[in-house]
Amino acid sequence: MSSLALSTDLYELTMMAGYYTAGLEASATFDLYVRELPPNRSCLVAAGLEQAIAYLEGLRFTDEDIAHLRTLPALQGVRREFFDQYLPRVGFSGDVWAVEEGVPVFPPAPLLRVTAPLPEAQLVETALLAIVAFQTSVASRAARMVGAAAGRQIVEFGARRAHGIDAGVLAARAAFIGGCDSTSNVEAGRRYGIPVSGTMAHSWITAFPSEFAAFRQFAEIYGDRSVILLDTYDTIAAARSVVAGGLAPSAVRLDSGDVIALSREVRAILDGGGLHRTQIFVSGDLDEWRIASIVEAGAPVDGFGVGAALSTSSDAPSLGAIYKLAEIERGGAPVPVMKRSPGKQTFPGRKQVWRVFEHGVAVEDIIDIEAAPGESMQAEPPSTVRPLLVPVMRGGRREHPPVPVADLRAQQLAEIARLPAAVRRLVDPARYRVRFGSALESAVKRFL
């Protein structure tokens, strides 16, 4: 079991000790955001917030953690009070504002904003980035596939491709929030209440003396809930044997070959045998592009099983999310800060993101200084404006109980539907408009 407090980069701890030593415990605000969309994405779908809150709530240094830190050569210059007095009492005591899970986000809008005493706000950087960026990348990819599937089901079954057991469970959660219908991951089902589904593997077939013996045995146990895998030896012959053998599976699965052609042949064979209600599922290295091409071909496919493309967000396995100091209290007053590194500048001040809707469709996001919304708030009907960052923790405690993932999924589907169709399309999507409000523009200019 990982220590939460030690699940961080060493430099967070050296800086934390440094801030403590320097007496820099003033309140600081950090933004967690992505600089730009990865290729092939027209939006991000926020996810992982619940795990971020749980991490912050649970954060503390155990005696064992502190004993370990005392042994680190890198911390030898740090004075003893840091270990003896500070670490035993420190946790996360700050405020968090965040975009709710399932809501589309457009860089560089913050996904999360942390305000806490500087050493605490610094400590949590590494884990917050890992938690939020991973689930956000998976949910974003899932939303694309769900769009491409145009109403057909998508089962996430990427556990075996995920970056370890835990990553698989988190990926299943994020994929479901992104709109997938179910997961193969039993633990994700248990933990989050996600519907689970499954079929059979090729090993089931090859474990029996004949393919049909394997089919029949499965059908004897699982009856009309069976999903029969057809491609172990010859897909068409297998489909014929299902019909000839009088089986009535709920679905068949095609896992290799030209699935567009095969699905048509298999559909005809099933229909010819009266199995009109037996569905056809397709799997095998699917992504949004392959799903779209199968759908566009009009292939009689009822659902898709997707693995690595979801559970590793394979086309964007990291989002490059960052966590940057935006404001710090000096002499009791908040001071905006900004770094100017070439190509890597940050944006100063405590921010809010305003989403502007016209006739119910989101038309632009305005990132601005929170305390000076100015124009951002002056929407006239039929425009409406909604702030995307909402308070989720105050004084280190969560504001609301965890939201069921089914609600987050429903929210995601509703919010995506409110984006312009041109932004949602798979091929050559339009760029959603994101701009800085005038207060933020002015704040940036003061640093240049």
* Cβ nearer to a second copy, comparing 131 with 389: 131
Q: Which two tokens stand for residue 272?
A: 């010819």
Using CB under 8 A, pick the residue from 54, 337, 377, 434 that binds a second copy: 337
Q: Classify residue 220 by burial, with Cβ atoms within 10 Å: 0-12, 13-18, 19+.
A: exposed
Residue 347 sits in the site that holds a second copy (CB under 8 A): no
Q: Which two tokens stand for residue 45?
A: 């779908």
Q: Which two tokens stand for residue 136?
A: 């956000």
Backbone φ, ψ for residue 232 (5° rounding): -60, -45
Residue 73 sits in the site that holds a second copy (CB under 8 A): yes
Residue 123 sits in the site that holds a second copy (CB under 8 A): no
Backbone φ, ψ for residue 110 (5° rounding): -65, 140
Q: In terms of Cα–Cα distance, which of 228, 232, 239 is closest to 257?
A: 232
Residue 187 sits in the site that holds a second copy (CB under 8 A): yes
Residue 207 sits in the site that holds a second copy (CB under 8 A): yes
Residue 293 sits in the site that holds a second copy (CB under 8 A): no
Using CB under 8 A, pick the residue from 42, 199, 241, 352 that binds a second copy: 199
* Cβ nearer to a second copy, comparing 43 with 308: 308
- Bridge partners, residue 324, by sequence: 31
Contacts of a second copy in 219-248 (CB under 8 A): 221-223, 225, 231-234
* Cβ nearer to a second copy, comparing 346 with 412: 346
Kindly state the greatest CA–CA separation across the chain: 83
Least CB distance to a second copy at residue 124 (A)? 11
Contacts of a second copy in 2-21 (CB under 8 A): 2-4, 6-15, 17-19, 21
**Residue with token string 């769009």:** 147
* Cβ nearer to a second copy, comparing 180 with 308: 308
Contact 16, 122 (CB under 8 A): yes
* Cβ nearer to a second copy, comparing 8 with 352: 8
Q: Which two tokens stand for residue 126?
A: 């590494």
CA distance 119 to 242: 64
Least CB distance to a second copy at residue 233 (A)? 5
CA distance 185 to 197: 8
* Cβ nearer to a second copy, comparing 129 with 266: 129
Residue 334 sits in the site that holds a second copy (CB under 8 A): no
